[in-house]
Structure 1
Amino acid sequence: MAEDLTDFYKVAEVSDLREGKLYPIEVDGEPVCLVKLEDTIYAFTDNCTHISGPLNQGDFDGCAVTCPWHGARFDVRTGKVLRGPARQDIYTYPVKVEGESIFVGLPPEDE
């Protein structure tokens, strides 16, 4: 996916995030979760791929989020499943920081 086809939405300020703390937002109707790790901000879908558990309510440790419902774990940097029962990776979104503003990119509607 070419970045110039991605629509970016302002979602938060850098000061809204605390290191290692999950920050749930909505981007154009999509549930998304932000987290800041070592001054890099990551964005990923806020629904577990197992049965849509709210990842923002789960435990976060290192670079992994654990779904509060059945314990599936995902790497928030890549979206990769680290532990089942989920078998499908979570979607990760491109993030841009301009000044103090955080923008999250969504793919075009036709994908």
Structure 2
Amino acid sequence: MADWVDVARADDFLPGSCRTVDVDGVPIAVFNVAGRYHAIEDMCTHEAEPLSGGEFVGDTITCPRHGSLFSLLTGEALSPPAYEPVATFPVRVEDGMVQVKDDRFD
């Protein structure tokens, strides 16, 4: 069973910001979307480019390399050249700490 990994103190993680963390070798980007946290694998499915370097508007992120748009809520690829979704991960706030985990192999 995967463990929860600390991302940042909720008080320090402002709306409209992103934090990245490594969870067992998997880069995960966690976004604060108007006070709600969403986490995706920090890697474009079109070409291995970190998504956290892209433009984050509302609940979408644009890949900085070729402009594919992804939903932060579902991981769905919303525009080409990416067609495959990115993995999403559960996020919680526990004792004031934003936490994420990779539960794909539990």
TM-score if structure 2 supplies the norm length? 0.89
- For 2:16 and 2:24, locate their aligned partners in 1 and report how far apart those are by CA, in whole Å: 24
Residues 23 and 11 of structure 1, relative CA distance in 2, 3 Å threshold: closer
Large movers: runs of 4+ above 3 Å: none
Q: What stretches of structure 1 of length at least 5 have no aligned partner?
A: none
2:11 corresponds to which letter in structure 1? S
Answer yes or no: is 1:13 the counterpart of 2:9. Answer: yes
Match of 1:64 among 60, 63, 82: 60
In structure 2, C-alpha distance between the alignment counterparts of 1:27 and 1:15, rounded to whole Å: 22
Alignment RMSD (CA, Å): 1.6
The number of residue pairs the alignment matches comes to 106
In 2, Cα distance between equivalents of 1:23 and 1:10: 11
Question: Are 2:101 and 1:105 equivalent residues in the alignment?
Answer: yes
Alignment match of 2:47 (pick from 41, 51, 54): 51
1:108 Cα deviation after fit:
5.6
Query: Which stretches in structure 2 are left out of the alignment for 5+ residues?
Result: none
Partners of 1:108 and 1:74 in 2: how far apart? 20
Amino acid corresponding to residue 43 of structure 2 in structure 1: N
Q: TM-score normalized by structure 1?
A: 0.86
Q: Residues 108 and 89 from structure 1, CA distance in 2 versus in 1: closer, same or farther, beyond 3 angstroms? A: closer
Q: Are the counterparts in 2 of residues 11 and 27 from structure 1 also a CA contact under 8 Å?
A: no
